[in-house]
Amino acid sequence: MKLVPATITEALKRSVPNHPISVHGWIRSVRQQKKLSFAHLSDGNGEVQVTLSPELARGLTTGTSLRVDGLTSLHPRTQQLEVRGEQLHVYGAAPGDSYPIQKKEHGSEHLRDNAHLRTRTMQTTHMIKLRDNLTYNVLTWMRSNGFTNVQPPIITSSDCEGAGEVFEVNPPNKKEKFFGQNAYLTVSSQLHLEAVAAGFARVFTLSPTFRAEPSQTSRHLAEFWMLEAELSFVQDLEGVMSVVENCLKGAVGDLDSALKGNADALHIDKDWQRITYSHAVELLQHRHAASPFQFTPEWGASLQSEHERYLAEEVYKAPLFVTDYPASIKPFYMRANDDQDTVACFDLLVPGIGELAGGSLREERLDVLQHKMDVAGLDQETYNWYLDLRRYGTVPHGGFGVGFERLLSVISGVSNLRDIVLFPRWAGRCDF
């Protein structure tokens, strides 16, 4: 693209030693010496060391944006290309006494307070590259395995999970509802994906979701992204789990080597185990008798984070699927098993994070689904369009959702999800 300045990576790739070059970027650090000064220049995608005369380097500070014109040369020790600067054009100065992102290490809270500038740090640059690479790999895997990428709505008329943790959408200072009815930010694209899957056998989306959860833990955000998929004509939970396993293994395995970080935690070279919820509770109760958890594991209760991590980190020491949870603790849309006490569902538990993904067969039988909605106290009129999917050409089907930030957390080793996203939102905090 002749009219667009080359990135640092592009400029270096087409250069040889002692070749004219121009590079643009922001100074990450500058080191002033008597005879020669050194500036570390980055444009996000690439970086390069620039050598400058003391005269040229005078007044340069971390954060300054500029163009450097000069000649390429080989670093005497690493033999990597660097730039011997001969002329500078400063686009924007960054006063050293007030610029918040200095060369020194900054704490997470400081970087979150300056999220609008933290893209210039090594940590955030790495996370952006990892997310970009992983997104590309996921989209590539899904497309090559027959899935169609669709864009479901962000504003919905119903609560997919039925848990009430939704943000209502309405313009401020308006007495009448903008849409003429209740409307919310989506907590999951699943129901709309099911509608698309009523005409396309395999569909998926990677899109934002919203939960009005008051939780302040490092594992929860009010706005996050989900990889969600639906598969028509699948009648066995194993089929859905195999898609999750193969997709994640394929996407992570194809990451650039410099971005794989803690990817070994996913054990992509081994088969992931499957156990039932009932067996999981037995394992947890055995451990609880010898060394009590904070929360007592009981059949019929949700697994707590400490339970999930114990199973993944200490018992199986690898990712595992826990299947067939009690119907009483799962959403209405999950298909009832023959025992009527459990549903055909799974959670994927991973060392370091606990629950990473969840999925199920969907209840395709109209009468059973209507009964489950009555038990859950849901208004069938609100979900009438969803029931139509069972009235007209219903098919057995299933799907899943993967928390994308949680996946990035596992791979990167960054435990707090607030440091995974560029502009994190959580209860009590929505800056920028």
pTM above the 0.85 mark? yes
- State residue 200 phi and psi, 5-degree precision: -125, 130
Average pLDDT over residues 169-187: 89
Confidence band, pLDDT 50/70/90 cuts, at residue 173: confident
Lowest-confidence segment of 203-217, 275-289, 330-344 by average pLDDT = 203-217
Q: Is the pLDDT of residue 400 over 90?
A: yes
Lowest-confidence segment of 33-37, 115-119, 245-249, 400-404 by average pLDDT = 33-37
C-beta neighbour count of 181 within 10 angstroms = 8
Please give the pLDDT value at position 310.
97
Confidence band, pLDDT 50/70/90 cuts, at residue 367: very high
Please give the pLDDT value at position 105.
81
Residue 228: name the closest of 330, 358, 347 by CA: 358
The string of pLDDT tens digits covering residues 115-128 is 999 999 999 999 99
Alpha helices in 230-299 (DSSP H): 237-253, 277-290
CB of 134 closer than 8 Å to CB of 227: no
> Taking the domains of the chain in order of start, what are their residue ranges?
8-104, 117-149+241-419
What does R_g of the chain's alpha carbons equal in angstroms?
A: 26
Q: Is the pLDDT of residue 163 over 70?
A: no
- Please report, to the nearest 10 degrees, the dihedral formed by the alpha carbons of residues 204, 206, 209, 214 taken in order: 120
- More confident call, 35 vs 25: 25
Confidence band, pLDDT 50/70/90 cuts, at residue 176: confident
Please give the pLDDT value at position 393.
96
Lowest-confidence segment of 84-98, 132-146, 155-169 by average pLDDT = 155-169
Q: What is the fold, at CATH topology level, of the domain defined by 8-104?
A: OB fold (Dihydrolipoamide Acetyltransferase, E2P) (2.40.50)
Mean pLDDT of the chain: 94
Count of CA atoms in the C-beta half-sphere (13 A) of 298: 6
- More confident call, 164 vs 218: 218
CA separation for the pair 182, 197 (Å, rounded): 25
Please give the pLDDT value at position 164.
64
CB of 68 closer than 8 Å to CB of 85: yes
Q: Percent of the chain scored above 70 by pLDDT?
A: 99
Tokens of 101: 């992102």
Q: What is the largest CA-CA distance in the chain?
A: 83
Average pLDDT over residues 92-114: 90
Residue 42: name the closest of 71, 70, 9, 75 by CA: 9
Confidence band, pLDDT 50/70/90 cuts, at residue 34: confident
Tokens of 79: 């033999």
Average pLDDT over residues 261-269: 93
Residue 81: name the closest of 131, 136, 20 by CA: 20
Tokens of 83: 């730039």
Residue 272: name the closest of 319, 310, 323, 317 by CA: 319
Please give the pLDDT value at position 57.
92
Count of CA atoms in the C-beta half-sphere (13 A) of 316: 29
Q: Is the pLDDT of residue 59 over 80?
A: yes
CA separation for the pair 104, 403 (Å, rounded): 32
Residue 306: name the closest of 298, 297, 317, 318 by CA: 297
The identity of residue 35, as a single letter, is K
Please give the pLDDT value at position 75.
87
Q: Is the pLDDT of residue 15 over 80?
A: yes
Q: Is the pLDDT of residue 159 over 80?
A: no
- What's the CATH number of domain 117-149+241-419, 3.30.1540.20, 3.30.930.10, 3.30.70.270, 3.90.79.10? 3.30.930.10
End-to-end alpha carbon distance in the chain? 33
